[in-house]
Structure 1
């Protein structure tokens, strides 16, 4: 896989592209010109990101959909491109990764299409944030048919919040709270299953269910916190010096420097938040006085005051970063159970043929991310299939078998025994630490039905019981 043109050629050669067989010049089967011959594009890995690039290149506004399976008729002759993989921000399809020209195992029944709006990006639909401390943080509400309504938090993540923040002129998204963080709305729930990539100009451009079609309650209202709200979010927390990743001295990352937390006012409420943030299950204790050794360098936080329900330690009240009269003998620690509660660390399978097969993604710090396939095997798949209620594993493919993810890679070197209740019970590198790229995203294929049978692992072999 590589770019269609080398970097030095991109500026001098622009791929000619057209849409054929559709109702107008901005909808139809995608065809590209190569060596003076028009040919089609195979729909392997084809989705809205690639469609955005095509629509942008043709001056056809925003992408509405990315139909597959020759919706606008089968082409003839060459199939020039396959496995096209765009970020969605490129100006030209030649900037995207793809297999070499003409290399594919496709036929024309798999010809890719796009449907564009036909005009440049329309005026964004109104959106607002309510219930927060200012206009740049709060519950997300959208205006439709002259009625304000909320957005359900199903699939809500930092990419969706990024679009809202950008649309409001509030900077970048720093958190995408779920569960009615800023109070429950009272009127219609307008949107559900919103799935933005983060590059859209308005929330109305993102894939979602039809207006008003949802399976939610207002306790599931989605929110956004933007950088211009003045609320700062630390991206990382870790436990060090302990016997496992779920027990140890609390350290937080600020300005790219790890530092400790002073134990003034430190108790089980703060420990609950740390354990939740790390996906480590319920808090067992909140040791003080550097139980797991004294840290070095910065003491970043002091007088942390949580309610115990926050998703991140940075949502709690505290003194300003670095403002304290502590020393490292007062470093705070936590001890969490190693058994994760399901609502803390959700797992999902995406881009597969059904809910029981796909790329494995995990939710951490209110953000979905993928898992690297280093050490990924059937034992890991056994745990995931069980956790999502999909029976036993059939396979544990790596190498982005079900497409590449587009957000953060959360886990690497996952090593399960196969008996764990949750993927978060398995050994792995710390959250976000990896040496991978999305071409190594891990996947699973499960039987699809919870089964009375289970796999018992004997060394490196599995037996069915």
Structure 2
């Protein structure tokens, strides 16, 4: 009987007069992804994910003017819609010109709720190639079954903005010319592009299109976009609370199931080293607004965090006290005396390489020190001061303004084009992000840490000799440390940055230890902690004599 009723509904659906129906994608991360919605009789509604597969998704992708379907999403992956659920039990063969031509249960006939809304991820017609992350690279366009490049004549930030939005990234940071990301091959599809910046697709911009012969691949255009992921409230650009951009709004990520594979995807996406340390329970302070992602599970091969499996946009069972954070670094210092000195090395194409010392100065060193979470630069070293590196010399002829998040964002020769040898490897000596203040010598005093460009103090809650030893080692003092609290070295002022500190003793920096989160505390400056670093045989009488002498 149920089968007969379904058959009648199906026949009725096939015999109803043709209606005006339209398909759109909603709540996706670019124009070729999102929740599938259908306009029927003047009202938008969703599609149930029952039996939804790649054949159905392929019809939608083609109808939207996008490339092949890469994923068919169900279970409200792109969030739950509202209103009617127009289609259920959709069964396309894949050749239909529109989703409404596919077999289904009939308009509005469903047993679904919006928790089962279907979505798609289609291949876009623009991609970025040979960049440092998923949001940078040479611009390539898909046309007539073939990928080709874009000529840089007239290429500017308005054009780059359209590309960045189309590939699901944030704002355009730079429009690159002269094959900055290397020369492409094959066709040059577009030239003299003139976008206003408001277009939804590069193909919609005014330009000369298809089979361009006036350009060569030495003029291939590229872009640097801000990725749809950022790290907030960290000690540098490669650490902080994880936030994702969705529907033009930044929101946080819940720590449920979060692990090093998920962190590695974020680090890679931001152009940082792929080894990431997971921080949760508001280590970097709780966020505000929407919690966009929960139950994230990445394999580690994804180009973007938004490509990983998760509950669905805005679907979660946690609050901001569970916002996840990570620490990853896009630069490292090698063969120095501590974590804030050494030969400068950067990661590109999964390979570490060095920086040439041509033009290397304190302004360039300041960018390195800042990105490492260290203090101000003491020296910009040249001539392989910290020994010769190996592998590529990635950067040369550096010219930083001093406020870039990484040396990779400074003006320089194109990546990997240096003619330097490793005898010219650049290095830096930075002040560490921890200092001892108001002590009897350089190895004693009130503990202060640098965060967001501001020095602040540390509360003595749970502070012990292991924590003190990490501080002593970091500031280049003997690691045997005596804890002093209750303003032994006088109360500090300004921010109280760290509380409930717990170090294992293996950390390179106090900022690597577990603590409540930046600026989160339940104490005041009367509890500022201090340390006296000393060798085991350093006698208290010597300290007392110095104190007496200083009076």
Is this a same-fold pair by TM over 0.5?
no
Question: Normalising TM by the smaller chain, what interval?
Answer: 0.3 to 0.5
Q: TM-score, normalised by structure 1?
A: 0.39
TM-score, normalisation: structure 2: 0.34
**Larger Cα-atom Rg:** 2
